Amino acid sequence: MNPEELDLISRDEAPILDTMRRIYSAVPVHHLAAIHGKIVGALAVADAIVDALPLIHGPVGCAFQRKLNPFNLSSTFYDTPCTNLNNVDVVYGAEEKLCKGVVEAYERYSPRLIIVITTCTTDLIGDDIEAAVEKAMEMVGCPVVYSTGDFVGRSRPVGIQDALYAVADQMICRNEVEKNEGSVNLINSPTQRNALKFQEMARLLTQMEIKINKICFDHTTTEDMMDLARADLNITGYRMPWAELMKEKMNVDYCKITGWDRYNKKKDPELISPYGIAGSCRFLEEIARIMGREGEAEPVIKKNRTATEARLEAASKELKGVKVAVPVGFSLNLLKDIGVDVAALVYRTQTLSHGLTERAVREIERANLSLAELYGFHPELLVNPTPDEELKTFRKLQVDLVMAPAKIAHFYNREGIRTVDVGDFTQKKLNVGFLPSIELCRVFREALGKAKVRSPLLDLMEFDGGISNLTPHWAKTALSFHHLRSKNFRDGYYYHFQGLAGVELNEHNI
């Protein structure tokens, strides 16, 4: 593509468009080389409800996109029926086609719930989705809800929040509900369907005489979703607008495990993390106050805390003095519990800038440094370091162990630095309770007991100098999508895409 020959495209924009053309000719697409939009988020919700069926209202390409790019091997979205819009539908409207699509989907798949997911095309032509869905529901034997991406504004994760809000607003919130008095719902993300994460928390709450109504999402059915309204309290992993809606419409109270509102009220750095022994105690006490079970909770918390501290005293002896490097955001409470020395904090801010103000980004930095100082750590802070800067600092500090994603472990291993998969621990083990501290101690001891691997198999591949977990081809593609959704698209920054010279991003920032 020659920029000088293009009338409507500037010299700075031509390279990015040429890159886009090459991306879409490459099949399959790497998960970093795409934008996680509202369709995939809504699909994740439909996929997490085992007897629900998504119906994509748009051109067939919108439904087939996830076949090419499922993001991970466990999210293949096998059944994604589509209304298959064409040019005529775009001109004359597609409400009748949507109604017909709902009926056909029900007759073919017999779902207990149909979730209609609109696309850019149907959003632009202004179909009356609500009217079409109401008409279709009269002809099928299951609830039908629709997600347009407009219900919750810019709340993230995109698509997930909107689809959950649609399910709550159009199906869960209703007039007559038989309450399960004194009970709570434990709710994680639809992308983390692992009830085992809540196992200890459920046991502790039961000992505090607080009943568990439902645990979502794990083999969750449409009936389970309807039963969420029976509880007195929703306990969620993070802010969820649909839980706020249930509080407003159904008087089901709402408490999120993570959130900066607790910290903002007192500016106490210990309040930024609800994990570890101290953080879990605080959160369990908060739940007990909401449910009126303070008296029952106190002996339960004290007993479990004492037992855990005794186990850690014996198990963590060999970790004393071990120097670790961790990403900003990982719970320093847990690291304090097991007695390691946090020598370095790595802070990646580029992706945060998409959803946070500069002030918020700096406040996160300040709070984590304050917490580190409170716990007696004196880490060196690395803000958006290059791979070479990172390794140089780790050697200087004599870091023994790095908490990093598995996809870039080879980058440290080849330098003789052992690693722990931060993503695996966070997704599978991290939750409110006392066992995560014991589990992290075990994981660290196991990692330190392994031989250093300096020649991992991944080193046989060529990796990009800027994004060291991707090959040069996919690094360029990932950067293209990263910048497409940034505010700098017209700042002339993209002319560097042809060679990726001087790229400022690295492996954690995409």
Residues 302 and 445 in one domain: yes
How many other CB atoms are there within 10 angstroms of residue 73's CB atom? 7
pLDDT tens column, 176-205 = 899 999 999 999 888 776 667 889 999 999
Residues 187 and 152 in one domain: no
Is 274 inside any structural domain?
A: no
Residue 385, both tokens: 């370091």
Is 266 inside any structural domain?
A: no
The CATH number assigned to the domain holding 348 equals: 3.40.50.12380
Q: Is the pLDDT of residue 347 over 50?
A: yes
- Residues 79-87 have a mean pLDDT of 90
Q: Would you state the pLDDT for residue 382?
A: 94
Range among 194-203, 308-317, 381-390 rated most confident: 308-317
Residues 305 and 445 in one domain: yes
pLDDT tens column, 274-307 = 999 999 999 999 999 999 999 999 999 999 999 9
Is 455 inside any structural domain?
A: no
Residues 441 and 475: beta-carbon distance below 8 Å: no
How far apart are the C-alpha atoms of 179 and 251, rounded to whole Å? 11
How many other CB atoms are there within 10 angstroms of residue 480's CB atom? 20
Residues 127 and 92: beta-carbon distance below 8 Å: no
> What proportion of the chain, given as a percentage, has pLDDT over 70?
79
Residues 309 and 466: beta-carbon distance below 8 Å: no
How far apart are the C-alpha atoms of 349 and 384, rounded to whole Å? 7
The CATH number assigned to the domain holding 188 equals: 3.40.50.1980
Domain boundaries, position 493: 3-27+462-498
Identify the CA nearest to 170 among candidates 190, 151, 193. 151
How open is the CA angle 434-401-304, to the nearest 5 degrees?
Answer: 10
**Long-range contacts of 260-263, Cβ-Cβ distance < 8 Å, separation of 24 or more:** 263/367
Question: What burial letters (b/e) apply to 127-164, b meaning 16+ CB within 10 Å?
Answer: bebeebbebbbeebebbbbbbbbebbeebebbbbbbbb
Look up the pTM and report it: 0.82
Residues 220 and 192: beta-carbon distance below 8 Å: no
Q: Is the pLDDT of residue 267 over 80?
A: yes
How open is the CA angle 430-443-507, to the nearest 5 degrees?
Answer: 75
pLDDT tens column, 438-496 = 999 999 999 999 877 666 666 666 777 666 667 777 777 777 666 665 555 444 433 33
Is 418 inside any structural domain?
A: yes
Residues 435 and 475 in one domain: no
Is 441 inside any structural domain?
A: yes
Residues 483 and 415 in one domain: no
> For residue 145, what are the β-bridge partners?
115
How many other CB atoms are there within 10 angstroms of residue 207's CB atom? 15
Residues 157 and 69 in one domain: yes
- Residues 377-386 have a mean pLDDT of 92
- Residues 55-61 have a mean pLDDT of 90
Residues 216 and 310 in one domain: no
Is 269 inside any structural domain?
A: no
Q: Is the pLDDT of residue 28 over 90?
A: no
Residues 188 and 44: beta-carbon distance below 8 Å: no
Given 109, 143, 172, the domain boundary residue is 172
Residues 339 and 410 in one domain: yes
Fill in the amino acid letter for 38.
Answer: K
How many other CB atoms are there within 10 angstroms of residue 358's CB atom? 10
Q: Which spans in 81-177 are helix H?
A: 87-92, 95-109, 120-125, 129-137, 160-167
HSE, CB side, 13 Å, CA atoms: give it for residue 168.
Answer: 24
Average pLDDT taken over every residue of the chain = 83
Question: What burial letters (b/e) apply to 360-371, b meaning 16+ CB within 10 Å?
Answer: ebebbbebbbeb
DSSP 10: -
Q: Would you state the pLDDT for residue 280?
A: 96
**Long-range contacts of 292-297, Cβ-Cβ distance < 8 Å, separation of 24 or more:** 293/208, 293/209, 293/210, 296/207, 296/208, 296/209, 297/208
Residue 318, both tokens: 């060999």
Beta strands in 180-322 (DSSP E): 183-187, 211-216, 233-236, 253-256
How far apart are the C-alpha atoms of 235 and 241, rounded to whole Å? 13
Cα dihedral 273/274/276/281 (nearest 10): 140
Range among 3-7, 117-121, 377-381, 477-481 rated most confident: 377-381
How far apart are the C-alpha atoms of 252 and 249, rounded to whole Å? 8
Residues 184 and 162 in one domain: no
Residues 442 and 320 in one domain: yes
Is 216 inside any structural domain?
A: yes
Given 142, 172, 202, the domain boundary residue is 172
Entry field: residues in the chain: 510
Given 145, 172, 199, the domain boundary residue is 172
Number of domains in the chain: 4
How open is the CA angle 384-389-395, to the nearest 5 degrees?
Answer: 125
Q: Would you state the pLDDT for residue 468?
A: 65
- Residues 151-168 have a mean pLDDT of 83
The answer for 174, left when phi > 0, alpha when psi is -120 to 50, beta otherwise, is beta
Is 167 inside any structural domain?
A: yes
Among the residue ranges 94-108, 137-151, 488-502, the one predicted with the least confidence is: 488-502
Residues 248 and 108 in one domain: no
Q: Where do we find the tokens 């002339």?
A: 492
Q: Which spans in 171-257 are helix H?
A: 199-207, 222-227, 241-250
Residues 315 and 439 in one domain: yes
Q: Is the pLDDT of residue 76 over 70?
A: no
Fill in the amino acid letter for 72.
Answer: N
For residue 4, what pLDDT band results from cuts at 50, 70 and 90?
A: very low
Of 497 and 285, which is predicted with more confidence?
Answer: 285
